[in-house]
Copies of this chain bind each other. A is one copy, B any other.
Amino acid sequence: MSHQFPPHVVLCDVSPRDGLQNECKPISTTDKISLVQDLIDAGMPRIEVTSFVSPKAIPQMADAQEVMQGLTRRSGAELVVLVPNQKGAERALACQPDELNLVMSVTESHSKANLRMTPQESFERLQEVVVTTRDRVRLNVSLSCSFGCPFEGDVPAEQVLHWVRAFSELGVTGVSLCDTTGMAFPSQVRELVGRVQKLSQKSRITLHFHNSRGLGLTNVFEGLRAGVTHYDACTGGIGGCPYAPGASGNACMEDIVHAMHCEGIETGIDLDRLLKVSKDLGNLLEHPLSGQVVYAGPRSKTYALDQAKSQ
Contacts and interface: CB of A to CB of B under 8 A. Distances in A.
Interface of A: 1-2, 5, 109, 112-114, 148-153, 181-183, 185-188, 190-191, 211-215, 217-218, 221-222, 241-248, 252, 255, 258-259, 262-263, 291-293, 295-300, 302-305, 307-309, 311
28 contacts: A1-B191, A2-B187, A149-B302, A151-B302, A152-B302, A153-B300, A153-B302, A181-B296, A185-B259, A185-B263, A186-B221, A187-B263, A188-B262, A211-B292, A212-B296, A213-B258, A213-B259, A213-B296, A213-B298, A217-B218, A218-B218, A218-B259, A242-B311, A243-B303, A243-B311, A244-B296, A245-B295, A247-B296
A281 to B, nearest CB: 15
A110 B187 CA distance: 38
Contacts of A244: 295-297
A180 B242 CA distance: 35
Given A213-B255, A214-B217, A186 B299 contact: no
A181 B301 CA distance: 11
A175 B297 CA distance: 28
| Identical copies of this chain, number | 2
A255 B214 contact: yes
A150 B221 contact: no
Given A188-B1, A218-B218, A182 B311 contact: no
The 9 closest A-B pairs by CB, nearest first: A246-B295, A214-B255, A185-B262, A247-B296, A214-B292, A113-B308, A244-B296, A247-B295, A242-B311
Contact of A182 (B1, B217, B222, B296): B296
Nearest to A252: B214
A214 B308 contact: no
Given A1-B187, A307-B243, A311-B243, A148 B299 contact: yes
A310 to B, nearest CB: 10
Contacts of A258: 213-214
B243 A213 contact: no
Contacts of A300: 153
Given A185-B259, A244-B296, A299-B213, A305 B218 contact: no
A292 B247 contact: yes
A293 B183 CA distance: 11
B187 A303 contact: no
Contacts of A114: 308
Contacts of A153: 300, 302
A294 to B, nearest CB: 8
A82 to B, nearest CB: 20
A112 B305 contact: yes
B151 A305 contact: yes
A180 to B, nearest CB: 12
Contacts of A221: 186, 218, 221-222
